[in-house]
Amino acid sequence: MALGAADAGGARARLGRALPVLTVLALGVALMYPVALWLGLPLARKRMENLANWLVTTTAAHPLAAVPDDPAAGAAPGARLTFGGAAELEAAAGAPERLVLVKDGAPLAAPFGFDGGELVLEGAVAGPLLTWGAELAGPLDEGLAPGAAGHLFRFADPAEAGRPLYLGGRLLEAGVVDAAERADGVTVAFTFPLGEGPVLVGERLVLEGAGFEADGQRVTLAAPPPFNAPVRRLTADYAVVDAASGTVALAQPSPVPPRAASGLALAELLVGAVDGVNRTFELQHVPLVENDPARRLMLDDRELSSAAERPRERVDGATRTFTFAGARGVVTVDGREAVEGVDYERDGAQVTFARPPTRNAQLRQYPDYLVSDPAAGVVTLAVAPQPGQRLWAASYTYYDRPACGATALDCFLSMPQHPMPFPHWIAQRLGPFLTAYPLADARNVVRATLYTAGGTLLALAVGALLGVLLAVVFVAVRPAERALLPWVIASQTVPIIALVPVLLLLLGNVGVTVQASLVPATLIGAYIAFFPVTVGTVTGLRSVDPLALDLMKSYAASPVEVFWKVRFPAAVPFFFTSLKLGAAAALVGALVAETESNNRFGLGYAIVGQVQAGNVADVWILLLISAALGIGLVALVGLAQRLIAPWERR
């Protein structure tokens, strides 16, 4: 009974000692979550606001979703038709006045409405509703990964690669998304914000299970793509693999090639009053991609041009009259639209400014229109369209939404790098990181930890020895303290980052291979550690009770006996306290020395390598290992204190 009570009391005592440490640890882990959000959410918001990180979508006239029973026939009033691009059309169904039926590149006057997602004609449309083009060649064999037969086809004329495709009487929707990461020749894991289809690596199609494994939005390829190779994933029925050759890839294999067609389609009208005066209109999807080769704006059946024209004359700051290629257009000076009749007068192709533009100003003329505000989708025409004309978009590209997600939290969670990762992310990486290399490999983390620990212990031993010797000299010889102590203090004001390169140069000159030697870590660690040992030991040696010294004098004790029997026991607690500080300082010095000397055997080199690789969770693992190593070294000093000075139990 007494033994059991003693064991229970000992367990409670141990728990009482461990509880404060565990409480602080739990609080630290819990605080990492809000701190990670506090540091990461502003970066996530910036990522959301940066249009370079948005998904880019090209919208075009929507063709018929299904092949009519008789493609050559027309459609009578009351006919119900469905078109591709259901998501976009559903958003526009409440405003049919913003849409127009087009065929063969020209708008139709047929009115219509919407009912349950279907277009209902209110006027007749003459046939044919659909005109077939040539069948695509294929299935092709080249560029195929294992099991990818039946996926690749090719247009007979590559110029037709943008035409709608039909297979089995159904319209094929085009869609592809780029990977968030760039191919560097090593990476095999890529993130796609959308898509569940095959992956395109350059012009090569790979399938799930054969060429990659998918885990949600994360795709791991069987082999790393070549450097800078485009890595894309299909998000719809097909994607154009190579526009130059007219090659397309289907998401689902087909023994029968799809067929191109053209015909009736539903296009967007630009928003604005067509009254013969208004020249400003808006596209319906914003913000716009500014330099968009796919943008085709039409006025009735004529395609408008936004190709910038340069003046024949040089803008020298004195010339007022300039000649352009065309006799009409929107004139801009350094991107700002100049107003005819106010800023300049036109005489055919010649433009005369009221005041000469400044020297080397960017003077441009846009023949038909200018995208004056890409963020708002504002387009300024050179000539106002007349009542009855239709201004519509055959195709254009816009920034759809942030690729990282709809909210800042989504973008934070999808960030490839975090200033501070969540603790459970670090825990998930712990096992793979520690077992990434065998123990025999120099890159193994355990080996690196033991190597750094060895260098730190050597540094601590040298620093402690030097510190104790200086302390004894300072106490025994007061003039030496007055002469040397200021220089000891001054030595600690030299930045380590500046001292290490000098030391490495000196060691290299005497034949030390600093990239594989413990000497730099030992010397730098000792340089930092000796100072607290010196100060602490001096304080301890002088903390002796004067009565004890008088007593030893009365016994006629020698200075050596006074030191060992009085001063040394009094200095022990001060010495070990300062030695604990020196252990932490020596570890910092060893890590800095390993980093600066590129010593690949130590933790410092591993930390720099993971920082450069952008593996933030692995960096935190190494930081935690370094912290644990520091705690272990301090505990080792405490154990030495118990063995050397058993009378000190505090």
Greater pLDDT, 117 or 647: 117
Burial label for 645, CB within 10 Å (0-12, 13-18, 19+), is: middle
Greater pLDDT, 392 or 203: 392
Tell me, what's the pLDDT at 121? 92
Tell me, what's the pLDDT at 319? 93
Tell me, what's the pLDDT at 324? 94
| Confidence at 521, pLDDT banded by 50, 70, 90 | confident
E strand map for 61-111: 62-63, 80-81, 99-103, 106-107
Tell me, what's the pLDDT at 146? 57
Mean pLDDT of 116-132: 89
Tell me, what's the pLDDT at 20? 82
Amino acid at 251: A
Amino acid at 163: R
Q: How is residue 264 written in tokens?
A: 């009736």
Whole-number mean pLDDT of the chain? 86
Tell me, what's the pLDDT at 545? 64
Residue tagged 């994933």 (tokens):
233
Q: DSSP H helical segments within 516-567, as ranges?
A: 519-541, 546-554, 559-562
Residue tagged 């294929």 (tokens):
138
| Confidence at 279, pLDDT banded by 50, 70, 90 | very high
**Helix, strand, coil shares of the chain as percentages rounded to 5?**
40, 25, 40
Please state, in angstroms and as integers, the Cα–Cα distance from residue 477 to each residue in 213, 482, 490, 534, 588, following that order: 74, 9, 20, 14, 32
Mean pLDDT of 259-288: 93
CA distance 371 to 384: 15
Mean pLDDT of 396-404: 90
Q: What region does 598 belong to: left with phi over 0, alpha with psi -120 to 50, or beta? A: left
Would you state the torsion angle of the CA atoms of residues 229, 233, 238, 243, taken in this order, to the nearest 10 degrees?
-20
CA distance 320 to 217: 58
Sorted by where each begins, the domain ranges of the chain are 57-129, 132-263, 307-367, 445-644
pLDDT at 351 over 70: yes
- SS3 for 86? helix
Under a CB-based contact definition with an 8 Å cutoff, are residues 70 and 125 in contact? no
- SS3 for 530? helix
Could you tell me which residues come within 8 angstroms of residue 252 by beta carbon, excluding any fewer than 6 positions away? 237
Nearest to 533 by CA among 604, 450, 474: 474
- SS3 for 417? coil
DSSP 96: G
Burial label for 549, CB within 10 Å (0-12, 13-18, 19+), is: middle
Tell me, what's the pLDDT at 144? 56
Greater pLDDT, 396 or 615: 396
> Which CATH superfamily, name and number, covers 445-644?
MetI-like (1.10.3720.10)
pLDDT at 189 over 60: yes
CA distance 36 to 38: 5
- CA angle 267/272/273 to nearest 5° reads 115
| Confidence at 275, pLDDT banded by 50, 70, 90 | very high
Q: Read off the pLDDT of residues 545-558 as tens digits, 9 standing for 90 and up.
A: 676 666 666 666 66
Q: Read off the pLDDT of residues 453-467 as tens digits, 9 standing for 90 and up.
A: 999 999 999 998 998
Nearest to 414 by CA among 406, 429, 422, 404: 404
Could you tell me which residues come within 8 angstroms of residue 207 by beta carbon, excluding any fewer than 6 positions away? 145, 146, 147, 148, 151, 198, 199
Under a CB-based contact definition with an 8 Å cutoff, are residues 338 and 324 in contact? no
Q: DSSP H helical segments within 366-444, as ranges?
A: 408-414, 423-434
Mean pLDDT of 491-520: 82
Tell me, what's the pLDDT at 204? 87
Burial label for 650, CB within 10 Å (0-12, 13-18, 19+), is: exposed
| Cis peptide, bond prior to residue 224, ω within 30 of zero | no
Greatest mean pLDDT among 2-6, 9-13, 134-138, 302-306 lies in 302-306
Q: What is the DSSP string of 466-512?
A: HHHHHHHHHHH-HHHHHHHHHHHHHHTTS-HHHHHHHHHHHHHHTT-
Burial label for 526, CB within 10 Å (0-12, 13-18, 19+), is: buried
Under a CB-based contact definition with an 8 Å cutoff, are residues 269 and 391 in contact? yes
Nearest to 391 by CA among 295, 264, 273: 273
Q: Which residues pair with 263 in a beta bridge?
A: 130
| Cis peptide, bond prior to residue 402, ω within 30 of zero | no
- Helices first, then strands: H and E counts in the chain: 13, 34
CA distance 177 to 502: 52
CA distance 306 to 295: 9
Tell me, what's the pLDDT at 46? 92
Q: How big is the chain by its Cα radius of gyration, in Å?
A: 39
Q: Read off the pLDDT of residues 73-94 as tens digits, 9 standing for 90 and up.
A: 889 999 999 998 766 665 665 6
| Confidence at 389, pLDDT banded by 50, 70, 90 | very high
